Chains A and B, each alone.
Chain A
Amino acid sequence: MNLVILLLPILLPIIGGALIVPIRFKSDRARNLYSELIVILTSVSIWVCLLCLHGQPVTVYSFTSGFSITFAVDGLGSVFAGMISLMWPLVMFYAFSYMEEAKRKNSFFAFYVMTYGAAAGIAFSANMITMYVFYEMLTLVTIPLVTHYGDHASMYAGRKYAAYTIGGASLAFFAVVLTTMNSSGGTFTYGGCLSGNYSETVMRIAFVFGFFGFGAKAAVFPLHEWLPTASVAPTPVTALLHAVAVVNAGAFAVMRITWYVFGTGLLLGSREQIFCLLIASFSLVYGAVESVRERHFKRRLAYSTMSNLSYMLFGVMLMTTAGFYAGIAHMVFHGIIKMSLFLCAGAFMHKREKAYIYEVNGVGRVMPVTFICYTLGALSLTGIPMFCGFVSKWELMRAGAASGTVYGAVGVIALVISAFLCAVYTLTISVRAFFTAKEKDLYIGAARDDADMRMLVPIVVFTAVNVVLGVCPGLIMPLFEKIATGVLP
């Protein structure tokens, strides 16, 4: 019975999504209803799993002893699963509106629903092999989404995306094999699962491979190039996948290998740790810098995603519980914020059919709700108190300072610089939207024409969550703390 319940959130969207194509829906309405239904059912089943099946591993198939496809619900996994389960149904509405005039909608929604299953699989996998399988699967099912428009730019983006993430995952494979060999099947255990006779040096090197391999999806420098290129995809894809699900899967996998496979005991204080820490610090500034340079709205946000993912990696690489705690918090909060920002950018691009930042001048009056939400998101991302971005940034900085090492301090300075750049790259858009000189205003005399309700509702909901969690982080932070300290396995 447990097996069925646990497989439901993974198989339901995969099968249900795949069925969209053969069913050949006659009307958009019917297909939308069907896919929304699948997604909501999946979310419900995820919550059933979270509430009822905590800590009960279920083996689906065992190849040999210590080499199996196993699922379990644990603390970290439930954060990831809980986050995506709340986001997917909402963003589907947005996608219905955004994709209204697009072609090949059936295949788009088929893959869009299927990715949900792959992401849920990553969240619930209980050992390295299982996670790796779903990780590759997530890459494969998102490629058609990136190339959806079918023009040369998206085909190129698709190929680049595939090359980077599959190539990256092959690096990770090294780590997967080594850890599976040197433990009882690489089963995730808080604090590390390595056992038996292994060479510490080899394992540390394997960790670096794992870091870059899984980090490729989290757009760690120098494997970040795919992310901004992939922003040619439709906005629901960039928002949900390339700002939250896929990239967070990368960060999530790095958390897994650091805290649940290799263990901090092996790594803390080693050169490998310091190397990864510095890479994360560099890449969080690098992303912010590139973001300031960028003039394309979505690519700018994509670079910002790169920067913010490195925040999480930085937190995890500190290898203290405080850092881990801050990393988890930033994973969730950044997801919420970046989602709202991308949805706003998408609403602007969809309604105004413009894509560059200089085309934003004065649009605040035309699309007030969208851009007020954008501004709140931007303030949050910068790390202004009263918004959730501040909470996680403060925790990250605190963790960096408390680590008591030079590298922690370097990271804190990097965080501060990147936060300033973040203000530059996000708030300039708000300033352009609301405070433009008359002669530069592109929308003089334009009537108010905001995005439609199906777009605005998700935007407003995410913004509201952003503010509520910012004002009362106590609602959720204790949970993260329990997970990070291992109280809640």
Chain B
Amino acid sequence: MIAFMIFMPAAGAFLTLAAGKRSGRAADLIAACLCIAELLLSCALPVGSALRIEGILGFGLHFQTDGFRSVYAVVTALMWAGTSVFSIEYFRHEREHLLRYQFFMLVTLGATEGVMLSADLMTTFVFFEILSFTSFTWVIHEQTAEAIRAGYTYLFIAVIGGLVLLMGLLMLNQCAGTLRFDELKAAAQQAPDKKMLLAAGICILLGFGAKAGMFPVHIWLPKAHPVAPSPGSALLSGILTKVGIYGILMTSLTALAGNQTFGLVVLAAGAVTMVLGAVLALFSVNLKRTLACSSMSQIGFILIGVSMNLLLTAYGSEEAAVTALPGLMLHMVNHSLIKLVLFMIAGVVVMNLHELDLNAVRGYGRNKILLKISFALGALGISGVPLFNGYISKTLLHEGIVEAAKECAPYAGLLHVVEWVFLISGGITFAYMLKLFICIFIEKNADAQRQARYDRQPSCMNAASSAVIFVPALLMPLLGQPFAALRIGSLMTGSRELLHFRAFSAGNLKGGLISLSIGLILYLTAGRHLFLQNGSYVNLWPKKLDLEDAVMRPLLTGILPAVFGTILSVFGENRILIPLSKAVLFAASVFGRALETSIDGLIVLVHSTALRARRAKRGPASGEGEFRILREEISAASRPLTRTFSFALMMTCIGILLVLGTLVALMLLR
């Protein structure tokens, strides 16, 4: 049954491809039916079953189902079912490359289920790599210059992530001797080399974090979502980020369970991701970009949960199982569902207007009741308004931080700060969702003609799309009820105590309300006045502080190297690393050329002495001249390349090796 779930979509992908050659309509339907079938299958998946396919890939593939995995298998299939039905309408008029999209969408479905049901890290890794490459086709789908740029970023971050992850697995395997989740915990506790374990954990964190959109490897996320087709963005943001979280969570529950340092590392990464994502979302004036940055921020919330769980278990507290763990798991589910709805609504907007700029889409939803309600439900859910789903998960996470502050005495001060950061980020979430909602559904467009056109068009989607948007949206208030949410939470964690959690106690409500009022104030002050100048939304994020060029790229150059010992890249604006890398390049090339030309020189020497007579006879058109022309041709062809990112990158790689070589030489001499 598990095998069927993983390999059926991949097999179905070929079927879709074959059908699509004849009729595009048939391919649409087959793809949607396959996803719905997958949903039914995942609901019927028995908890506690396991599957082992030995011999494949040398180490075998291992799967299992438990509460968390089963729930997530259902959520995954639900996401796919929703988006595949929606994409029938979404792609109705833009059928170019559609078949490719559908093919890779189905393969990714199989791979994602493979990750979600995996029972050892190697299996996780295998499917993780598959989905990295297949989902790349979503990002680059439109094949515009912008999409290709984003696609390259996505691809290379995915490759780097994959390799760092692989290195982490290698180290983990080295010190624990196994990669199976059920054995890993015990094995890791007996491992002699704790430092190596931590290094492995950080590599794994970065590797999976690259897919989750964790700071500092989130760089692809705000670029990839706006250019991907909306059903693709919904999946990228709703589920592929969770694939990364799944890996981090499983590692933190097994190999690094109760590792305090690892907990602090995750905490730092999570807090920065949470705040940065929220602030960026607040500043953004692009609908899908706002949602993308919001995803990043929510991933930060989840990571905070992971770190609280780590810290609480490190201090031997029982509370972890009742607060942080279910909190983060519920927040994963909630965020998946919310982003499914919100991105599909963004898809409706794109499908009708082909615009994403807030000033252009402003007022679009004024008379579209269903769209308005669905968006409102999603927005309320993500902002953590009581009675909606985000509230319970955020409250649990908040409770986790409070508990951790109580239990982990050495970090009490730090954790109080984190608590406030958490509340403020929650507030920002509310502010940017308000901004979006008011902009699209309440205000009128600055251009009156546009507004009139928007108002004349009351129906914006067909019945099927409405259903797949509205039905998941109804889950928001449903999952906002403690009886439903806590039951799911206890199913996922296996903790009965959770059922007695009082979500609406005064203390918990207070936390939620503080957060919401911060958001409201922020929106009314900053949101209304700062971002709304002369009646139009402006992007106040300074150009110099542009994410890509000034913040993320140099960040990528500054933090990654410190973390895994590799100066990874030098991007455009950097003033220090480029001269440095140039110096290294110079040294390396002098070194290399000297060695090369010493041999070429011998040949030249022979030519100019012993073979001179022969050469003169043959005339001027000898090999040397031709060779020089060839060389010039080659170097002319490669000249533009010397200014590119990859060139800088590889030069730094050489540099690192030289440095490593020097170190080794020094050690040898000593």
Q: Using CB atoms, name the residue of chain B closest to A425.
A: B646
Segment among A23-31, A445-453, A471-479 that sits at the interface with chain B: A471-479
Q: Which residues of A contact B592 (CB under 8 A)?
A: 221-222, 286
Q: Is B356 an interface residue (CB 8 A)?
A: no
B126 touches A435 (CB 8 A): no
A427 touches B155 (CB 8 A): yes
Known: A286-B592, A384-B129. A278 touches B163 (CB 8 A): no
A421 touches B171 (CB 8 A): no
Q: Is A110 an interface residue (CB 8 A)?
A: no
Q: Which residues of B contact A391 (CB under 8 A)?
A: 57-58
A406 touches B667 (CB 8 A): yes
Q: Which of B133-170 contact A (CB under 8 A)?
A: 133, 137, 140, 143-145, 147-148, 151-152, 155-156, 159-160, 162-164, 166-167, 170
Q: Is B47 an interface residue (CB 8 A)?
A: no
Instruction: Give Cα A418 to B667, complex, Å.
Output: 24
A413 touches B57 (CB 8 A): no
A471 touches B653 (CB 8 A): no
A424 touches B57 (CB 8 A): no
A401 touches B599 (CB 8 A): no
B646 touches A384 (CB 8 A): no
Report the minimum CB–CB distance from A472 to chain B (whole Å): 6
Q: Which residues of A contact B162 (CB under 8 A)?
A: 384
From B56, B641, B664, A295 is in contact (CB under 8 Å) with B641
Q: Which residues of A contact B167 (CB under 8 A)?
A: 397, 412, 416
A296 touches B660 (CB 8 A): no
Instruction: Give Cα A406 to B663, complex, Å.
Output: 10
A292 touches B646 (CB 8 A): yes
Q: Which residues of A contact B171 (CB under 8 A)?
A: 401
From A152, A274, A385, A435, B148 is in contact (CB under 8 Å) with A435
Q: Which residues of B contact A292 (CB under 8 A)?
A: 646-647, 650
A278 touches B566 (CB 8 A): no
Segment among A39-47, A155-163, A202-210, A458-466 that sits at the interface with chain B: A155-163
**Which of the listed residues B133, B166, B657 has the most CB atoms from chain A within 10 Å of its own CB?**
B657
Q: Which residues of B contact A473 (CB under 8 A)?
A: 57-58
From B144, B626, B649, A156 is in contact (CB under 8 Å) with B626
Q: Which residues of A contact B637 (CB under 8 A)?
A: 295-296, 356
From A225, A289, A397, A421, B600 is in contact (CB under 8 Å) with A225
Report the minimum CB–CB distance from A149 to chain B (whole Å): 13
A431 touches B170 (CB 8 A): no
A293 touches B143 (CB 8 A): no
Interface of B is mostly: helix
Q: Is B609 an interface residue (CB 8 A)?
A: no
From A412, A419, A435, B140 is in contact (CB under 8 Å) with A435
A296 touches B596 (CB 8 A): no
Q: Is A456 an interface residue (CB 8 A)?
A: no
Instruction: Give Cα A296 to B637, complex, Å.
Output: 9
Q: Which residues of A contact B163 (CB under 8 A)?
A: 383, 416, 419-420
Q: Is A382 an interface residue (CB 8 A)?
A: yes
B638 touches A295 (CB 8 A): yes
Q: Using CB atoms, name the residue of chain B closest to A432.
A: B148
Report the minimum CB–CB distance from A162 to chain B (whole Å): 10
B565 touches A296 (CB 8 A): no
B664 touches A274 (CB 8 A): yes
Instruction: Give Cα A281 to B637, complex, Å.
Output: 28
Q: Which of A178-229 contact B (CB under 8 A)?
A: 221-223, 225
Q: Using CB atoms, name the residue of chain B closest to A440.
A: B145
B630 touches A382 (CB 8 A): no
Q: Which residues of A contact B147 (CB under 8 A)?
A: 437
Instruction: Give Cα A401 to B647, complex, Å.
Output: 28
Known: A420-B159, A424-B646. A285 touches B596 (CB 8 A): no
Report the minimum CB–CB distance from B451 to chain A (whole Å): 33
From B170, B624, B641, B664, A293 is in contact (CB under 8 Å) with B641
**How big is chain B's contact interface, by range?**
35 or more
From A152, A282, A296, A437, B621 is in contact (CB under 8 Å) with A152
Instruction: Give Cα A473 to B125, complex, Å.
Output: 17
B654 touches A289 (CB 8 A): yes
Residue interface mask A389-412, B partner, CB < 8 A = 1: 011001001100110001100101
Q: Using CB atoms, name the residue of chain A closest to B175.
A: A401
B657 touches A386 (CB 8 A): no
Q: Which residues of A contact B664 (CB under 8 A)?
A: 274, 278, 406-407, 410
Report the minimum CB–CB distance from B633 to chain A (whole Å): 9
Instruction: Give Cα A417 to B564, complex, Å.
Output: 12
Instruction: Give Cα A221 to B599, complex, Å.
Output: 12
A286 touches B151 (CB 8 A): no
Report the minimum CB–CB distance from A105 to chain B (whole Å): 25
Q: Is B341 an interface residue (CB 8 A)?
A: no
B660 touches A410 (CB 8 A): yes
Q: Is A136 an interface residue (CB 8 A)?
A: no
Report the minimum CB–CB distance from A170 to chain B (whole Å): 12
Instruction: Give Cα A225 to B144, complex, Å.
Output: 38
Q: Which residues of A contact B125 (CB under 8 A)?
A: 385
Report the minimum CB–CB distance from B347 to chain A (whole Å): 21
B653 touches A159 (CB 8 A): no
B159 touches A382 (CB 8 A): yes
Q: Is A16 an interface residue (CB 8 A)?
A: no
B144 touches A437 (CB 8 A): yes
Known: A156-B623, A417-B656, A420-B160. A385 touches B596 (CB 8 A): no
Instruction: Give Cα A164 to B599, complex, Å.
Output: 8
Instruction: Give Cα A436 to B145, complex, Å.
Output: 8
Instruction: Give Cα A299 to B58, complex, Å.
Output: 33
Instruction: Give Cα A390 to B143, complex, Å.
Output: 29
B599 touches A223 (CB 8 A): yes
B638 touches A293 (CB 8 A): yes
Q: Using CB atoms, name the residue of chain A closest to B130.
A: A386
Instruction: Give Cα A282 to B588, complex, Å.
Output: 11
Instruction: Give Cα A299 to B140, complex, Å.
Output: 28
B641 touches A402 (CB 8 A): no
Q: Is B507 an interface residue (CB 8 A)?
A: no
Q: Is B55 an interface residue (CB 8 A)?
A: yes
A152 touches B626 (CB 8 A): yes
Q: Is A379 an interface residue (CB 8 A)?
A: yes
Q: Which residues of A contact B600 (CB under 8 A)?
A: 225
From B596, B626, B651, B654, A153 is in contact (CB under 8 Å) with B626
Q: Which residues of A contact B140 (CB under 8 A)?
A: 431, 435
Q: Using CB atoms, name the residue of chain B closest to A393.
A: B166
Q: Using CB atoms, name the residue of chain B closest to A228.
A: B634
Known: A391-B57, A477-B58. A384 touches B133 (CB 8 A): yes
Q: Using CB atoms, name the residue of chain B closest to A382.
A: B159
Q: Which residues of A contact B143 (CB under 8 A)?
A: 435-438
Q: Which residues of A contact B630 (CB under 8 A)?
A: 153, 156
Instruction: Give Cα A64 to B599, complex, Å.
Output: 37
B603 touches A385 (CB 8 A): no
Q: Is B174 an interface residue (CB 8 A)?
A: yes
Known: A391-B57, A412-B170, A438-B143. A282 touches B641 (CB 8 A): no
Residue interface mask B616-632, A partner, CB < 8 A = 1: 00000101101100100
Q: Is A123 an interface residue (CB 8 A)?
A: no
Residue interface mask A252-293, B partner, CB < 8 A = 1: 000000000000000000010010001001100110110011
A424 touches B156 (CB 8 A): yes
Q: Which residues of A contact B634 (CB under 8 A)?
A: 294-296, 299
Q: Is A339 an interface residue (CB 8 A)?
A: no
Known: A222-B599, A282-B657. A471 touches B56 (CB 8 A): yes
B129 touches A413 (CB 8 A): no
Q: Is B661 an interface residue (CB 8 A)?
A: yes
Known: A394-B170, A420-B159. 4 other contacts (CB 8 A): A225-B600, A401-B174, A423-B155, A477-B58
Q: List 11 A-B contacts (CB under 8 A).
A: A152-B627, A155-B623, A163-B599, A281-B657, A296-B634, A391-B57, A391-B58, A401-B170, A407-B664, A424-B159, A472-B57
